[in-house]
Structures are given as structure tokens and as C-alpha cells.
Chains A and B, each alone.
Chain A
């Protein structure tokens, strides 16, 4: 298999803009090309679009609007993890030799149809994500004796990190009290516990080892990939305090990269709601079960941005299919030493965790400089 690296990227600011998905896709693609003058459109073999928007033929449309005539072009949709899933598809094309260079562009609008999984009728009238998140939160609080105040640290930390991310949806910081006093959605969830739907687009370029040298001196290699789908319906989960798909995706990614959780210097993880961050930290193997919040609290208290340096989903906003690409761009910047104020010193190994539909499926990427 060919080795695959991330070589270039383009980002947009996450916002509440009411723009077409085509314009959204084009904006990050334009940013990618503007930042990389030695990139030739003729070298791009594959253009993959990640979105939940109900529109057709978006990858050929984006290709035409960008003046690219790729061999391979199609959309990848997998709810909130569409972004990383498109990156995995691009990786596979390059690793297998079907493509040398692949452009992946994730985009979503603030009113994306991907926010509700209509098919999952086992959720009855409670299909909005705040309901599964409330069930997770209630179970997690009971099992580990956690309070709302304990959980609020996730939102406080990630909003603080997002303050130094110019592309984040939020640029405000909040105290524990602000989170606790924010609008109550359910007994377990306040509005500041939630990642917010928004409009955004992120583009990333992947290339084979032979091609990498032509376009960058600072490639970031994809060292490991793990994915797992347990089910589509939320009620199939055996536990509401563990993410079985995340555990398996992490085990697989660490195994095929020959890395361990202790080797990871920086990670972007899918904090769709406050309770997700500690659960994910535990199920990735960073900390023992029940220790996730103490881990996040220590990071906050020591001004350590190791987890969710761009602000995670809660701070940066969650334009579903752009999220996985934006997470991967953040880790790429960190490993290139180009993350500015957000930079983790001497970061060589990074992790991306992206999931969908109450963690019924998960994707874990391990990157190395």
C-alpha cells in the first residue's frame, strides 16, 4: 500500500450564513488553492464531497466550479462523521494506487437535514440529538457520581480554546456559572452544553508519498485508521455510559499504527455535548473509566490545550460534514507546528475522533509528522 500524507488545507469561518451548499464548498476549496500556489489542478485525481445536504452531483459540480477534471468524484454521507469518512475514502484511493492526489471538501449549512435521523423510529417522538444526549448524561452522572457543575468544565474549556481559533463559531468565554445558568433544554442539558449547528466548509488535500515532495516540505502522515459501526438506532446501545464503536475504532487505529494512547500529544474529539468529552477520553484509552472529567479539568487548570485545541465542536461549532475535516486540519496544523496561539509544544503524534448518531459509529485517525 502507498503511504498517504495530508499536504494542504483550506478553512472557512463557521457562521450562521445563509449561503448555498455549492458556495460553501467552493469557499474552502478556493482558500486551499490560494494558500498553495504550487498546486496544479491537473494533478488532482479525486474530488470527494462530504455533506448531508439533499442535493445531487455535488462533487462534479464543485469540480467544474473549481476548474478540476478528476478521475474520481462523488459524495460521501455518513451523518456527523461524513468528513472523516470522506478522508478515509480518499486515503483508500491513494493507498490502493487508484489516485495520487485527492481533494476532500466537507460542507454543511446551519439547517442541515443531517441533524435528525428520521429513520430511527425506535426514538419515537424524541429524535432530536438533545434527547440521546440527555439519556447519556443522566446515566453518566449516576454511574460516576458526577454533577452538572463537574460537566460544565467541558464547555468552559472548549469555549476558551475556541477563542484563539479565528474560524470558530463562538468567540466568547464562559464561567462554570454561565454554563449552569444558560437556557435549560432538559434536566440534564443546558444550551451551553451543546455544540451548535452552523454553516461551514473545510477542505483538505491528501497525496501519495511520491507526490508529497512536489507540494510540501511538511507532510503529515496518516499513520492509523480505525472505524466501527455498531448500529444505526440509538436504542440498540447496550450502555449509555460507554461508546462501544469508539472503543473498537480506537483499538483498531492504535493497532494498525503501532501507537498507544500515551504516544498522542494532541487530539480533536467529538464533543457533540459536554458528556461526550469524558466518555470519549475514557473509551479512547486516555484515562480510566470515570476519570474523563478530572482529565479535562486538569487540562483547563494547567492551560493545557491537548484535547480540542481548536475548541472542539462545542467551541468551534458543528457544521456536520465539515467537522471531521476541520478536526483533521487542526491536528495537521499542530503537527506542522503552525497552530499559532493554539500550538502544543513538540507535538508529533495527533488523533482525530469523529462519530455519528449517538456514537452508533465512530472513526479514529492517527496522524504523525
Chain B
């Protein structure tokens, strides 16, 4: 899949259906509304924090990006306290141990 080969290179792209003006997520081959072909484009790497929690080692979160799509990723801890709705930025993405991997930073 085009999405995964690009993600492997560190590029986060999403499929967009021009006809329906809709971003399709998680990645698929066709639009979930009209089954039309998708145009792939790089996503704006900024969004907002929807929710987060923490294991012993790391903070994980749900973040919402352009087009309303949501991802789960690792939230880098820094001096800023996470708040729901805080602005975030995707710092890094790729495929790790077979899973999509997103590293997210509070802006």
C-alpha cells in the first residue's frame, strides 16, 4: 500500500476523495462513501490532543489531525503539562515492529 511505503520513509500521507471532499482513515484503497480512487497528500502535521494516559515508561495519547482523523501515538514529555485540546505536532512517524508509529510533541 502506498501509505505504508511512504510511512516507512517517515512521510505521513492520507488518502483524500476529491468528489466527496473526505479524508479516508485508517488508510484504505478507496473512498468509503463513493468507492472512488483516492489522491494521496502529505498531512498537516499539527493538530490537537484528545486524550492521554501513561504507562510506567511513556505517555501515550489520542491526537486529532486535519480532516478529523485520529491517531494513537507516543507523547514526548516536556515542561508543558498536557491539557485536552492542547496543540500538538507530529515529530516523527514510521513503522516500528510492524506497527505504525507516531511520536507527538506538545507545541
Contacts and interface: CB of A to CB of B under 8 A. Distances in A.
A142 B84 CA distance: 10
A240 B101 CA distance: 22
Given A124-B73, A131-B60, A185 B51 contact: no
B30 to A, nearest CB: 16
Contacts of A186: 53-55
Contacts of A185: 55
B85 to A, nearest CB: 12
Interface string B1-40: 0000000000000000000000001110000000000000
B25 A122 contact: yes
B100 A121 contact: yes
B26 A121 contact: yes
Interface in A303-357: none
Nearest to A189: B53
Interface in A112-138: 120-127, 131, 134-135, 137-138
Given A134-B53, A138-B51, A187-B54, A236 B70 contact: yes
B55 A123 contact: no
A2 interface: no
A41 interface: no
A6 B64 CA distance: 46
Contacts of A184: 56
- Which of under 10, 10 to 19, 20 to 34, or 35 or more describes the interface residues of B? 20 to 34
A126 B56 CA distance: 14
A135 B70 CA distance: 13
A185 B62 CA distance: 18
Contacts of B26: 120-122, 233
A139 interface: yes
Contacts of B97: 125
Contacts of B84: 142
A268 interface: no
Interface string A239-257: 0100000000000000000
Contacts of A236: 70
A188 interface: yes
A167 interface: no
Contact of A235 (B52, B53, B56, B72): B72
A261 B100 CA distance: 42
A142 B101 CA distance: 27
**Which of B25, B96, B97: most chain A Cβ within 10 A?**
B25
Contacts of A188: 53
A203 B102 CA distance: 43
Given A125-B96, A127-B99, A135 B53 contact: yes
Contacts of A240: 51, 62
Nearest to A137: B53
Interface in B50-96: 51-56, 60, 62, 69-74, 84, 96
A122 B71 contact: yes
Contact of B102 (A124, A134, A139): A124
A192 B69 CA distance: 33
Nearest to B73: A124
Contacts of B100: 121-122, 124-125
B62 A135 contact: yes
B51 A139 contact: yes
A16 to B, nearest CB: 25
A184 B101 CA distance: 24
**Which of B69, B71, B74, B97: most chain A Cβ within 10 A?**
B71
A292 B17 CA distance: 41
B8 to A, nearest CB: 13
Interface of A: 120-127, 131, 134-135, 137-139, 142, 184-188, 233-236, 240
Given A122-B100, A187-B54, 19 more contacts: A120-B26, A121-B26, A122-B25, A122-B26, A124-B99, A124-B101, A124-B102, A125-B73, A125-B100, A126-B60, A127-B99, A131-B72, A134-B60, A135-B62, A187-B53, A187-B55, A188-B53, A235-B62, A235-B71
Which 6 A-B pairs have CB atoms at the shortest separation, nearest pair first? A235-B70, A134-B53, A187-B54, A124-B72, A126-B72, A122-B26
19 contacts: A120-B26, A121-B27, A122-B71, A123-B72, A124-B74, A125-B74, A125-B97, A125-B99, A125-B100, A131-B53, A135-B62, A138-B53, A186-B53, A186-B55, A187-B53, A187-B54, A188-B53, A234-B72, A235-B72
